[in-house]
Amino acid sequence: MSEKLSRSSYDYLIVGNSTAAISAVEAIRRQDQAGNLAVVSGEPYPAYCTPLISYVLAGKIPESRMNYRRADFYQKMRVTTHLGHAVTEVRPEEHEVVLDDGAALGYGKLLLACGGAPIVPDLPGADLGGVFTFTRYADVARVRSWVQEHGVQEHGVQEAVVIGGGMIGVKAAEALQHLELRTTMVELLDRILAQALDERGSVLAQRALETAGVRVLTSRGAASLPGEEGRVNGVRLDTGALLPAQMVIVAIGVLPNTSLAAEAGVAVNRGVLVDDHMRTSLPDVYAAGDVAEGYDMLLGESRPIAIWPSAYLQGEVAGTNMAGGDQPFHGSVAMNSIQVCGLPTISVGLTEPARAEEVLEYNSPDGQNYRRLFLRDNRIIGAVFVGDIDRAGIITGLIREEIDVSEFKQKLIGRELGLLSLPKEYRKHKVMGPGMEV
């Protein structure tokens, strides 16, 4: 394949350098050792672990733990990197992309793994100094230097507001509180983590944040961000109340980065549309990760599922198929694993009670742990774990494999849920693998 392409071209070109991109690189190399391969990313760093950025900001982990792969990864995989250069245009007819410095790179197969971008609301004052989003490594340095530069002055940063009580907002609030800023979280809905947890889980998560010192205001929206001399000094709520703040983090959601694809003529809905081989509507162009719509096994429809494991799996499928393999993507199950100020929580699948025919619940006597399972047609379609999350993997397996649990339902909410709670046949299948007989 390589000989046919000019020197500035690659057999495989990947836009993005995060979860989906890295697993695609690994999958391509499992299939094809010889083809030339490049990644392009607007960010200047080697791939890093996005979910850890709030822990780095809080100083809980060193920057050295951020690397997603070893330092010699690109060299070992023989990947040419174009880091610090965003792709501004895809030209499918020419089989090339254009970078922000005007350079063009040709491709044999192209993977769009360009993820998502934070939603920036159209609020008066959103462009003031001290207002940040928090989704990239560079945001850690921005937030940190704002606190350092302004934190020691007389009118320095003492109070922060986080707008949005989803996963990113919760992580950001926890980090700011850890930096000893008086932190308030403002959430439009009547509970935090509404997309991740059920109501009870939201209450426990809110309590954990409050115990750590974060003030949580639900059913409140931000109306404007007042400021002075170009710097934010508060958040005006839709109730008219003013929360003083010398720093604001806006965390109201992430949307797939679809513009490159859409402008190139790729079919796009909420995310880039892909088939079960992660092919887009254009020949030789694939998409994977947060930018794409993935098949949600439980909903039975495609939608963006912006989580790390799903991005990894989609990247693997895309990479394998780009390099001549044949691996279908069977779909993902939404999953959120969030530690809220030391309180571990995991939710899997569909956790709105209205979607279930039956809800099973376990509460530990000390009130510290609970587990809730949502069932339809004797199959688990969703689960929430708060506190003790050790057995979430077992339940996730039952969800993914759509196992009929009617015979052992009650054991699933027993105190000691373990593999032994499951029928012998299922255990055998787990140990020996599907289809194996003993």
Ligand X SMILES: Cc1cc2nc3c(=O)[nH]c(=O)nc-3n(C[C@H](O)[C@H](O)[C@H](O)COP(=O)(O)OP(=O)(O)OC[C@H]3O[C@@H](n4cnc5c(N)ncnc54)[C@H](O)[C@@H]3O)c2cc1C
CB of 293 vs ligand X, minimal distance in Å: 12
240: alpha, beta or left, given left = phi > 0 and alpha = psi -120 to 50?
A: left
Give the number of other Cβ atoms within 10 Å of residue 123's Cβ: 20
Report the alpha-carbon angle 235-239-240, nearest 5: 60
Closer CB to ligand X, 18 or 233, in the complex? 18
CB of 109 vs ligand X, minimal distance in Å: 17
CB of 382 vs ligand X, minimal distance in Å: 16
What contacts 329, CB < 8 A, 6 or more positions away? Answer: 274, 276, 277, 278, 294, 295, 313, 314, 317
Closer CB to ligand X, 17 or 351, in the complex? 17
CB 365 within 8 A of CB 388: no
CB of 261 vs ligand X, minimal distance in Å: 10
- The gap from C-alpha 231 to its chain's centroid, in whole angstroms, comes to 30
CB of 436 vs ligand X, minimal distance in Å: 31
CB of 338 vs ligand X, minimal distance in Å: 6
Closer CB to ligand X, 138 or 359, in the complex? 138
Closer CB to ligand X, 51 or 226, in the complex? 51
CB of 49 vs ligand X, minimal distance in Å: 8
Provide the 8-state DSSP code for 390.
Answer: T
Establish how many alpha carbons lie within 13 A of residue 29's alpha carbon, considering only the half-sphere containing its beta carbon.
15
- The gap from C-alpha 169 to its chain's centroid, in whole angstroms, comes to 13
**Comparing C-alpha atoms, which of 161, 168, 159, 156 is closest to residue 193?**
168
Closer CB to ligand X, 87 or 403, in the complex? 87
Closer CB to ligand X, 19 or 206, in the complex? 19
Distances (CA, A) of 214 to 179, 340, 429: 12, 11, 46
Closer CB to ligand X, 43 or 276, in the complex? 43
Q: Which residues bind ligand X (CB under 6 A)?
A: 15-21, 40-43, 50-51, 53-54, 86-87, 113-116, 134-135, 167-168, 171, 257, 260, 289-290, 306-309, 311, 337
